[in-house]
Amino acid sequence: MSPRALIADDELHLAEYLRDRLQALWPELLILPLAANGLEALRALEAEEPELAFLDIRMPGLTGLEVAQRAQGTTRVVFVTAYDQYAVEAFEAEAVDYLLKPVTESRLAQTVARVKRELAEGPGARSETRSVLARLASLLPELGGNGSLPQAGYLRWVRAAVGNQVRLIPIDEVCYFQSGDKYTSVFTAEAEFLIRTPLKDLLGELDPQRFWQVHRGTVVQASAVSGTARDLRGRVVVKLKNRQETLVVSRAYLHLFRQM
């Protein structure tokens, strides 16, 4: 019988990316429908008892740690985390596998190999796993969390195709988005990427305190702005810290820059 896996992450594009890479690395693995929050993940674990679960640490409803603690059976858990190296070292010390966002294919391949070995060895000690989970849960406050989650999460990664590969771009690296005919361009300090998501759909996923729409087809990250100027036509333009081009500000958005 083929092993089964659950993927739980409130960021759908990251869950889909992980699912696609898993299917490529482990074709025999049957992947259950994606869970969008902790409660969905817990229900799926209790109903299906898959051999493997990939749980995001921060999810609405229940955290990945809480889901793993409450689940019954012998499901092996791989935590997916955006925490820094300090947290990663804690996970490694406790001998629970983890994937650090953005998940790379080489790191995922290591996880797949490890899980295959453990499945071949038979069920692990569930009581020991629960003890590990309890210790990890106690670390959450030190790592910047208090067990509670914001009501709505904003986009943290942008998924862009680069040839035959998929690149996950941290949202902090984005200077601005610009709408095109069929694609949206994502500009970082050093490169341009193309994504199929229309700019109007991206707007609802971006933190409005950080990303400002300056034109119908342009959204800039405020921290990437160095100042404003006027071009030869008298239009207000945004100057960027790490790129040479300027971005035209339409009249509807001039109020954003009156204090500059």
Digit-coded pLDDT (tens) for 81-95: 776 544 555 455 443
Dist CA 154 CA 160 (whole Å): 17
Digit-coded pLDDT (tens) for 248-257: 999 888 887 7
**pLDDT of the residue at 79:** 85
**Range 59-82 average pLDDT:** 82
**pLDDT of the residue at 49:** 92
Q: Which domains does the chain have, with CATH numbers?
A: 4-143 (3.40.50.2300), 169-257 (2.40.50.1020)
E strand residue ranges, the chain: 4-8, 30-31, 52-56, 76-81, 98-100, 157-162, 165-170, 174-179, 184-188, 192-195, 211-215, 218-221, 225-230, 236-240, 246-248
Q: Which two tokens stand for residue 117?
A: 């070995």
Digit-coded pLDDT (tens) for 115-158: 888 888 776 544 445 555 555 555 554 444 433 333 346 788 88
Residue 60: band (very low, low, confident or very high) from pLDDT cuts 50, 70, 90: confident
| Angular region, 73: left φ>0, alpha ψ -120 to 50, beta rest | left
How far does Cα 260 stand from its chain's mean position? 33
Dist CA 106 CA 109 (whole Å): 5
**Range 168-191 average pLDDT:** 91
Residue 57: band (very low, low, confident or very high) from pLDDT cuts 50, 70, 90: confident
Dist CA 99 CA 184 (whole Å): 29
Residue 159: band (very low, low, confident or very high) from pLDDT cuts 50, 70, 90: confident
Q: Which residue has the higher pLDDT, 33 or 150?
A: 33
Q: Which residue has the higher pLDDT, 37 or 128?
A: 37
Assess whether pLDDT exceeds 90 at residue 242.
yes
Sign of CA dihedral 209, 18, 50, 109: negative
Report the candidate in 187, 193, 141, 134 with the shortest Cα–Cα distance to residue 167.
193
**pLDDT of the residue at 25:** 95
**pLDDT of the residue at 145:** 42
